[in-house]
Amino acid sequence: MGKASRDKRDIYYRKAKEEGWRARSAFKLLQIDEAFNIFQGVKRVVDSHCPSSHDSDFLCLASLSTYRQLYLPAKSSAESKEGDVPLIVAIDLQPMSPIEGVIQVQGDITNARTAQLVIRHFDGSKADLVVCDGAPDVTGLHDMDEFVQSQLILAGLTIVTHVLREGGKFIAKIFRGKDTSLLYSQLKLFFPTVTFAKPKSSRNSSI
């Protein structure tokens, strides 16, 4: 990792601590929302983590805590009441530390029973937003890491196709590389619009 990347990481790390965020990844969500308005009208959220994601507990809690703090009634749809916050369900294979206001489901996102549990928590409705921020342990061999990450995203689509409403939003972490165009084509089978974006708070070494 180069000095510029370390400096950027440290800046956002310190800023997260100063502003009371659970992790520096908060700024990624802030910047994605600023660019794409991902929280607009969202009432039901699923934070899912792919099989083999060892960082899932940390990432899940960071993103969910951030989401609850960022959500403003002004961003919600017209029929939302003052003070409304979205219903959030977190899914992970491993036990998760509790977080206020978040329903936790321990299960495999590729299992239909897990999807049924999520929908049950939404009283039969489907999610407006699904976030998949899991990642595998990197090997340092970028082509291999990119391939494994793309397979995790495709595994994540298993839960997405069951719990995301038509017109809903799906956000996932990717590793860009020579097969990114293939992943784009695969995602286009499920979504009319697919956009790749790199938040400013990402490391310079991230591609």
- CATH number, domain of 181, equals 3.40.50.150
Of 18, 46, 25, which is closest to residue 171 (Cα–Cα)? 46
Q: Is residue 200 part of a domain?
A: no
Length of the chain: 207
Instruction: Report if residue 203 sits inside a domain.
Output: no
pTM: 0.77
Beta bridge partners of 129: 45, 169
Q: Which residues contact 95 (CB under 8 A, 6 or more apart)?
A: 57, 106
* Catalytic site positions: 173
pLDDT of residue 44: 92
In this structure, is the dihedral angle defined by the CA atoms of residues 190, 195, 196 and 201, taken in order, positive or negative?
negative
Helix/strand/coil percentages in the chain, nearest 5:
40, 15, 45
- pLDDT for 73 equals 41
Residue 207: inside a domain: no
How many separate domains does the chain show?
1
Residue 71: inside a domain, yes or no? yes
Cα–Cα distance, 21 to 2 (Å, whole number): 25
Q: Looking at the domain assignment, is residue 55 inside a domain? A: yes
Instruction: Write out pLDDT tens, residues 125-176.
Output: 999 999 887 666 777 887 888 888 888 888 888 889 999 999 999 998 888 8
The whole-number pLDDT of residue 6 equals: 52
* Ramachandran region, residue 27 (left: φ > 0; alpha: ψ -120 to 50; beta: rest): alpha
193 in a structural domain: no
**Mean pLDDT in each 10-residue stretch from start to end of the chain (207 residues)?**
53 76 72 86 81 41 53 46 71 80 87 94 95 75 82 85 95 83 90 91 61
